[in-house]
Amino acid sequence: MKIIAVNDYEELSKVASKIIIEKVKNQPDCVLGLATGGTPEKTYQLLIEDFKRNATTYQNVNTVNLDEYVGLPNNHPQSYHSYMFHKLFKLLDLKSENIHMPDGMVSDLQEECKRYDMILDHLNYPDLQLLGIGSNGHIGFNEPGSPFSQKTYVTTLSESTRLANARFFNHLDEVPSHAITMGISGILKSKEILLLASGESKAKAVKELLVGELDMNFPASALKSHKHVTIIVDSLALKEVRKIKDIELSEATCGGHEI
């Protein structure tokens, strides 16, 4: 795992957007795996700024999203369909037929999981998968205990995840209890993975990711078995790691410090 240590959220977003833009320029027909949540918001804003300023085109890019809540209509303000549409998709030149997300409103969720896996298979999985991390170590909505062999499935959100996401809703009761998520096996089929971690609430998870063992109860540890993972982490999220003697910061790369 390559670790890029940056000062703050701004720098994290700049470095992440630079990596994504480079990918799209070098491989204009790439498949981008995308995440939602608070962490990638600024990265998406920077992709949009670059699109306006430098006309980087997404016309031949396909996107696949990690997850969607079960039971929220696509036009619900907190659905991930809405999030992606308003924060990114409508502001780039993506073709609508190249945008892929699981649908949490269908009557047969198992069929929907199969449909999504067929799309992932057809696209041959993301060339670059963007990930956030939950404070409990979840990636996508793969909560602690999810087998690493899991394909797309319906997951039960943990209480800590519902509490963390309640900030986007009026009340905790409104946060859905289930979601459709790409499983860990699908995520690991991505050719390259970029995980972003920002803020003190992620410090324990980052420490576990960097120093812990492969462990089903810490889903992000599955990334240790992948050959091409980059983690961009800001100083607050690195707080617990800086206390560990044998991890030292070295030369700066892409505006951050590679560990």
Q: Which of 12, 46, 47, 66 binds ligand F6R (CB under 6 A)?
A: 66
Q: Is 215 a catalytic residue?
A: no
Burial class from Cβ neighbours inside 10 Å (0-12, 13-18, 19+) for residue 258 reads middle
Question: Which of 53, 78 has the CB closer to ligand F6R?
Answer: 78
User: Within 10 Å of residue 185's Cβ, how many Cβ atoms?
Assistant: 17
Q: What is d(CA 191, CA 171) in angstroms, rounded to the nearest whole number? A: 38
Regarding 134 and contact with ligand F6R (CB under 6 A), the answer is yes
- The residue among 36 and 221 lying less far from ligand F6R, judged by its C-beta, is 36
Based on the residue annotation, tell me whether 62 is a catalytic residue of this protein: no
Token couple for 11:
């720098």
- In whole angstroms, the minimum distance from the beta carbon of 221 to ligand F6R comes to 14
- The DSSP letter of residue 139 is B
Least gap, CB of 102 to ligand F6R (angstroms): 11
- Residues 15 and 13: their CA atoms lie apart, in Å, by 6
67 is catalytic: yes
Q: What is the DSSP string of 70-94?
A: SS--TTSTTSHHHHHHHHTGGGS--
Beta carbon nearer to ligand F6R, 58 or 141: 141
CB 36, min distance to ligand F6R, A: 4
Q: To the nearest whole angstrom, how small is the minimum distance from the Cβ of residue 34 to ligand F6R?
A: 8
The catalytic position among 62, 65, 136, 142 is 136
How far is 175 from 78, CA to CA, in rounded Å? 9
Give the helix/strand (H/E) hosting 31: strand 31-34
By CB under 6 A, name the one of 6, 9, 20, 39 that touches ligand F6R: 39
* Residue 14 identity: K
Q: Binding of ligand F6R at residue 37 (CB under 6 A)?
A: yes
Work out whether 219 is an interface residue with ligand F6R (CB under 6 A). Answer: no
81: contact with ligand F6R by CB under 6 A: no
How far apart (Å, rounded) are the C-alpha atoms in residues 198 and 196?
A: 7
Q: Please report, as ranges, the residues that interact with ligand F6R according to CB under 6 A.
A: 35-39, 66-67, 132-134, 138-141
